[in-house]
Structure 1
Amino acid sequence: MSFNSIYFVPLALAGLLALAPLSTVQAEQAQIVLGASVQLTGPIANTGRYYPDAYKLAVEKINAAGGLKVGGKTYKLALKLYDNQSDVNLGVRQYTQLVSHDKVNFLLGPYGSNFTVASSAVAEKYKVPMVEGGGASDEIFSRGFKYIFGTLAPGSGYFRSTVAMLTKLHPKPTSVALLCADDSFDVTLQKHTGPMLEKAGLHVVMNQRYHTNSTDFSALLSQIKSKKVDAILVGGHETEILNFLRQAKSLNVSPKMYAFTVGVPSEDFRKALGKDADYAFGMTAWLPSKALKDRWFGDAESFAAEYKTKYGYEPDYHAASGAAEVETIANAIEKANTLDPKKVRDAIAASNFDSLYGRVKFSPSGQIDLDQIVVQVQSGAVRPVFKGGAFIGHAQYPMRPWSSR
């Protein structure tokens, strides 16, 4: 796909969204346009960038393989992307612009559950299928919507593998603190993880929320230190996790372990923290592997290599999930053999195929359910540790105190 088949919209956005793309598409080329509002700038752009980058690479790969054949005609995919500047309300207006004015064929998702909860209502209103890989909150899929599909596992179960691992560590943690942001995903996470910990026989001494985009965790960390908590589970965005760990070191808060929902699998996380990233546990539903076969990339390892070459940084599960969004729509279009939104929607719902991300098969609510792999940063590298109720690698536990590193 040439650069001319991607629309990039400027950052500034007037109230009526009277925006023109920075580049134009050759009119004679038959195209299927996928639209999305993504975080190119703003507080969560560091993770948000995985999505436009993955979208572009997947579209290029599909087009390089000949595009899509629909009704005897060959189409190339094109993208139209807006920058929502990490603003939920702006994102909703942009999705409305995409379907009502730009007339894109299908929608890809933003990053973040709050964004997806809001923008999926636009897809439902206009009956334009949206496949998203950036929002995992159960709230997105509990409203009976028919036009939203997600390639992330339910947020309610994100810490399931971590909790199972806690029960098998030696010595077993005797006290746990659960800290979650107050966005849609983390509220879901907190609601289900607390009872999960208690059912596992773990003593929850703190179960608290903090404001999304918080930068000061000193009060929470002081409580953790005073209670001598063994294990700390934190849900939030990567920037929040980075701030939390830096302040934990500054205050010398050294439990037996830290575990986080995001950040740990990311190359940027390790670069930002250096050796201070060691011992941190995280989770991922995806690791690059030749075993994950894919129609367009060959396998997940090949996808990861191409992604790193093209963008200069390693993909994590966000990028793989984003690429799977594009592949899901492409596969459904060919199965439906039409661009009719309702028929493509039905084909998406019936998806059952192997992708670089894993098997794409949606539940009746529209969400994939994949096991989380517990990973840990060990000597600057991400190592798989626990999956499916059993250790698959060595866990460095207990964590070495900050003062002795």
Structure 2
Amino acid sequence: MTISRRHFVSLTGAGALTLAAPAIRTAQAASPAKIGVLLPLSGPLASLGNDVLRGFQLAQSFVNAKGGVFGAPVEFAQVDVPGSTEATSQAQRLITSDRVKVIIGSYASAISFAASQVAERNKVVYFEQGAVADDITSRGFKYLFRFIYPSTELGRKCAEYVVEKVIPGVGLTAANAKVAILTENSNNGTAVGAGAKAYLTEKGINLVDHSSYDFKTNDLSSMVQRYKSLEVDILIAEQYTPDAILFWRQAREAGLKLKAMIGNGGGHNVGDFADALGDDVNGILNTGTSVYINPDALQPDTAALFKRFHEEYPKMFEGRKPSAHSGMGFNAMYTVLNDILPAAGGMDTEKIREAALAQDKPIGSSIVGWGLKFDPKTQNNTRAFPTYDQWQNKQIQSIGPEPFGIAKKITMPLPDWGQRANVGQ
């Protein structure tokens, strides 16, 4: 599906009425919920940004199919933000030109950090669906809400899984396992690495290397060679899609042998990663968010929504399968359109804030398994949590935590290159 730089969903005009007063009331009732959408749709983050947009669009179609919001179809005012440089001007454009009162974005932490600052200054509500850097919500902003967990929690949960499951799973002990951390050097990557390192240090794990790099790089072979010389057993990685593919292609070319690799969302749980590596993607682990979880762990109405999401997504997007980023995008947009805005009763930002803070949903009430309760101080979602996955048969499969896992078997250690076709079987 080709996604334009700027896209508006057309609205159905209200029919002409003869009496002035009823006409005014009808116009008010049919006033659309115009939502600002701010995502990286071109540039190095485009793969993930477009996946999020697909989730937004599916949620929009679901809500519009049952009458929209405030009696009219939902309208998107959409901008492309390839990087943080464009974030400020494009957020300002949505606010001043399109006059939006709500912006939903943005996947990338650097983009979110800049764009949400503009929204806060203009008293526009900003919902962040997938950017995880801790400092996004550490500024005491009043109009910023985040659905996902922060980076340090993601890194810590990844390291926790390494210590509790991966090290014994590959036949090693805390005393002899050699663990390395590799991240891109954005706020997100830095925080994920810090969270993982803190937990590994706390548990006395031998961390033999902790390195970072610019995600726009076109060569990571030096890191591959470094890990070969250090004889790393387990690699914790946080990467976007292009650099994740680059690293693992170069690792394959150099014959880097690891007992386990565990990603942290980003590029490690999307179809493009599997398409690039083929069967050699199998066996790779991931900490993050998943839409391939056990639906029996969800609330009954959410399980029905989960089923519909998986049925309708490939129909709408030319046979594509949804990624975690599509699911997170859907979750945020659907919650805003289906729950928060109707509870607010209009586009008044103070009422939207109140409606968001009043949300109180249990674990299992979203298609990614999360609940929803915004912390009144940070406005982070306190009921978001990472899940654990493994690539099996070129499909991402949830392996935990219970009761969300669906994989019948977890394969450890990681088979050698070219020997991974039967992982999980």
Q: Report the equivalent of 1:325.
A: 332
1:81 aligned counterpart, secondary structure: strand
Letter in 1 for 2:208: V
* CA distance in 2 between partners of 1:234 and 1:78 (Å): 38
Residue correspondences, number: 384
Q: Report the equivalent of 1:56.
A: 57
* CA distance in 2 between partners of 1:287 and 1:218 (Å): 32
Q: Report the equivalent of 1:109.
A: 105
Q: 1:124 to 1:58 in 2, by over 3 A?
A: same
| Deviation at residue 297 of structure 1 after TM alignment | 8.7
> Is contact 2:156-2:198 (8 Å) kept?
no
Any idea what the Cα deviations from partners look like across 1:130-170, whole Å, max 9, x if unmatched?
A: 11212011110111011111111111111334323322324
2:371 aligned counterpart, secondary structure: strand
**Higher strand proportion:** 1
Letter in 1 for 2:390: Q
Q: 1:281 to 1:355 in 2, by over 3 A?
A: closer
Q: Report the equivalent of 2:315.
A: 309
Q: Report the equivalent of 1:290.
A: 295
2:62 aligned counterpart, secondary structure: helix
Which deviates more, 144-153 or 377-386?
A: 377-386
Show the 5 A alignment for 1:225-244.
Answer: 225-244=228-247
Q: Report the equivalent of 1:359.
A: 371
2:74 aligned counterpart, secondary structure: strand
Letter in 2 for 1:300: F
Q: Report the equivalent of 1:77.
A: 74
> Is contact 2:102-2:125 (8 Å) kept?
yes
* CA distance in 1 between partners of 2:80 and 2:146 (Å): 21
* CA distance in 1 between partners of 2:107 and 2:320 (Å): 18
> Is contact 1:108-1:131 (8 Å) kept?
yes
* CA distance in 1 between partners of 2:240 and 2:102 (Å): 27
What is the RMSD of the two structures over their aligned residues, measured on CA atoms?
Answer: 2.5
| Deviation at residue 203 of structure 1 after TM alignment | 0.6
Letter in 1 for 2:367: L
| Deviation at residue 389 of structure 1 after TM alignment | 12
User: Structure 1 regions of 5+ residues with no counterpart?
Assistant: 1-6, 11-20
> Is contact 2:220-2:250 (8 Å) kept?
yes
After TM superposition, the score normalised by the length of structure 2 is 0.84
Letter in 2 for 1:82: V
Q: Report the equivalent of 1:152.
A: 148
Letter in 2 for 1:108: I
* CA distance in 1 between partners of 2:352 and 2:400 (Å): 37
* CA distance in 2 between partners of 1:68 and 1:22 (Å): 16
> Is contact 1:284-1:373 (8 Å) kept?
yes
> Is contact 2:8-2:78 (8 Å) kept?
no
Q: Report the equivalent of 1:15.
A: none
* CA distance in 2 between partners of 1:269 and 1:193 (Å): 23
> Is contact 1:132-1:149 (8 Å) kept?
yes
* CA distance in 1 between partners of 2:299 and 2:217 (Å): 40
Q: Which among 202, 206, 215 is matched to residue 203 of structure 1?
A: 206
- 1:172 is aligned to 2:172: yes
| Deviation at residue 106 of structure 1 after TM alignment | 1.2
Letter in 2 for 1:363: D
- 1:349 is aligned to 2:357: yes
Which deviates more, 377-386 or 232-241?
A: 377-386
Any idea what the Cα deviations from partners look like across 1:43-79, whole Å, max 9, x if unmatched?
A: 111111012211111111111112234xxxx232111
Q: 1:22 to 1:160 in 2, by over 3 A?
A: closer
| Deviation at residue 295 of structure 1 after TM alignment | 6.2
| Deviation at residue 81 of structure 1 after TM alignment | 0.7
* CA distance in 1 between partners of 2:125 and 2:264 (Å): 28
Q: 1:120 to 1:22 in 2, by over 3 A?
A: closer
Q: 1:399 to 1:61 in 2, by over 3 A?
A: same
* CA distance in 2 between partners of 1:294 and 1:272 (Å): 36
> Is contact 2:287-2:387 (8 Å) kept?
yes
* CA distance in 1 between partners of 2:308 and 2:242 (Å): 29
* CA distance in 2 between partners of 1:287 and 1:201 (Å): 34
Show the 5 A alignment for 1:3-402.
Answer: 9-10=5-6, 25-26=11-12, 28=14, 30-69=31-70, 74-84=71-81, 86-167=82-163, 168=165, 169-170=168-169, 171-172=171-172, 174-262=177-265, 263-288=267-292, 289-291=294-296, 292-293=298-299, 298-311=304-317, 312-330=319-337, 331-353=339-361, 354-357=365-368, 358-364=370-376, 365-369=378-382, 370-387=384-401, 393-402=408-417
Letter in 1 for 2:412: Y
* CA distance in 2 between partners of 1:53 and 1:390 (Å): 24
After TM superposition, the score normalised by the length of structure 1 is 0.88
* CA distance in 2 between partners of 1:386 and 1:222 (Å): 32
> Is contact 1:386-1:393 (8 Å) kept?
no
* CA distance in 2 between partners of 1:298 and 1:387 (Å): 21
User: Structure 2 regions of 5+ residues with no counterpart?
Assistant: 15-29, 421-425
1:375 aligned counterpart, secondary structure: strand
| Deviation at residue 404 of structure 1 after TM alignment | 5.9
| Deviation at residue 339 of structure 1 after TM alignment | 2.0
* CA distance in 1 between partners of 2:184 and 2:124 (Å): 31
Q: 1:390 to 1:116 in 2, by over 3 A?
A: closer
Which deviates more, 382-391 or 224-233?
A: 382-391
Which deviates more, 337-346 or 284-293?
A: 284-293
Q: 1:222 to 1:287 in 2, by over 3 A?
A: same
